[in-house]
Every structure is written in structure tokens, then in C-alpha cells.
């Protein structure tokens, strides 16, 4: 397993599921680290550069949902649902990227 795949799996395992102030900070850090890994993968070759944009788009959706989960006007249940939605979307994106990256198509010239 290459270091990028290992880092992706490590981040994936750290994604929190419950809304709390600490978990909001943690998931923002995970999203930032994920974005950095996406940039590394994108820079590897033109195949990844041309096919990775949708994973960057996922980040905007996740960040927006996390932000909504921190709205003071939202109920605890609403915050929990939104946070769960954001963490699920992040996990789905990461799983898809791990599968895409493991495909190895980027290794071909």
C-alpha cells in the first residue's frame, strides 16, 4: 500500500459520527487533510488531474453541511442529522477515491 492510500485510510478511520464542538473541529481538520491528499494525487499525472475534480466538489458539499450543523438555531437532533450527513458524505467520497486510486490507471503512461 502506498503512503497516500495509507493516509487516506487513516483519515477515513478518524471521521467522527456524532456532533460535538470537538468533532466539528476534527472533521474540518480531516476535510483539510483530505483536500491536501487530493492535491497530491491530482499532481501525480494527467489521468488523475483530469478525473479528480468531482472529489474536490464533494468537499464543498461536506463543508457546507458541517457549517449548517453548527448553526445555533438548529436543534440538537437537527445538528446531529446534519453532522451525520456530512460525515457519511465524506466517508462515501473517501471510499470512492480509495477505489479510484487503487484502480492504478494513473500508473499507465
The domain limits of the chain are 3-104
pLDDT tens sequence for the chain (109 residues): 789 999 999 999 999 989 999 999 999 999 999 999 999 999 999 999 999 999 999 999 999 999 999 998 889 999 999 999 999 999 999 999 999 998 766 554 4
CATH number of this structure's domain 3-104:
1.20.120
DSSP string, 46-93: HHHHHH-HHHHHHHHHHHHHHHHHT-TTS-HHHHHHHHHHHHHHHHHH
Grid cell 500508473 is found at 107
65-86 pLDDT per residue, tens: 999 999 988 899 999 999 999 9
Grid cell 460535538 is found at 20
pTM for this model (two decimals): 0.90
Amino acid at each position: 500500500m502506498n503512503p497516500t492510500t495509507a493516509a487516506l485510510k487513516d483519515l477515513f478511520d478518524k471521521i467522527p459520527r456524532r456532533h460535538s464542538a470537538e468533532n466539528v473541529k476534527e472533521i474540518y481538520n480531516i476535510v483539510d487533510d483530505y483536500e491536501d491528499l487530493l492535491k497530491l494525487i491530482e499532481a501525480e499525472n494527467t489521468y488523475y488531474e483530469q478525473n479528480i475534480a468531482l472529489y474536490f466538489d464533494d468537499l464543498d458539499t461536506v463543508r457546507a453541511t458541517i457549517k449548517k450543523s453548527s448553526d445555533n438555531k438548529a436543534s440538537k437532533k437537527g445538528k446531529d442529522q446534519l453532522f451525520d450527513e456530512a460525515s457519511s458524505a465524506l466517508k462515501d467520497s473517501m471510499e470512492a477515491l480509495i477505489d479510484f486510486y487503487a484502480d492504478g490507471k494513473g500508473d499507465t503512461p
